[in-house]
Amino acid sequence: MTRPERVAELIKEEVSRIIRERVSDPRIGFLSVTGVDLSPDLKNAKIFISVLGGKQEKDKTFEGLKSATPFIRGQLGQVLELRFVPEIDFVHDKSIERGSRVLAIMSKLEREAAEGKKYSKQRKSEKAQRRH
């Protein structure tokens, strides 16, 4: 694991902890820190956030995160043993939503396939009864 990867993992854990334990902005809803992309020079970090809820909850959460960014960055600076604390940018991670949507579609297709087999068996049974 490279140094930027190790630092990114530490940032992910610490930002999650800081938001959970230290940030008290009521606009920030239920969220997960899903990943961090850190530049090779360690000066810029994109922090990927997944938010539970509708569009309004997501918008409010990102407003709260934007407002809390200086505080979060300051707290991060106390934990990281780096010369410079990276600039942080919160980015909405839609991968969990896409995954949920794919799973829902797959479940629907499985149900439809099961219903189709059931219907097909009924038709075969009806045809067989007509022949006899």
- Residue-wise pLDDT for 62-91, tens only, equals 999 999 999 999 999 999 888 899 999 999
pLDDT of residue 127: 64
Residues 6+ apart with CB under 8 A from 85: 73, 74, 76, 77
Predicted local confidence at residue 119, as pLDDT:
59
The mean predicted confidence, pLDDT, of the chain is: 89
Helical axes 55-79 vs 3-21, angle rounded to 10°: 120
Residues 15 and 80 in one domain: yes
- Shared domain check, 117 and 53: no
63 and 28, same structural domain?
A: yes
Co-location of 28 and 53 in the same domain:
yes
Q: Which domain holds residue 86?
A: 3-93
pTM: 0.75
Q: What CATH number is given to the structural domain containing 43? A: 3.30.300.20
Please give the radius of gyration of the chain, using alpha carbons only, rounded to the nearest integer: 24
User: Once rounded to an integer, what is the mean pLDDT over residues 37-55?
Assistant: 94
Residues 88 and 99 in one domain: no
**102 lies in the same domain as 70:** no
Q: 64 and 40 in one domain?
A: yes
Our measurement of the distance from residue 113's CA atom to the centroid of its chain's CA atoms, rounded to an integer in Å, reads: 30
In angstroms, rounded to a whole number, what is the distance separating the alpha carbons of residues 62 and 2? Answer: 30
- In 3-state terms, what secondary structure has residue 96? helix
Integer Cα distance of 92 and 89 in angstroms: 10
Calculated CA dihedral for residues 65, 68, 70, 76, nearest 10 degrees: -80
Q: Are residues 14 and 50 in the same domain?
A: yes
Q: What count of other Cβ atoms lies within 10 Å of the Cβ of residue 118? A: 10
Longest dimension (CA), the chain: 87
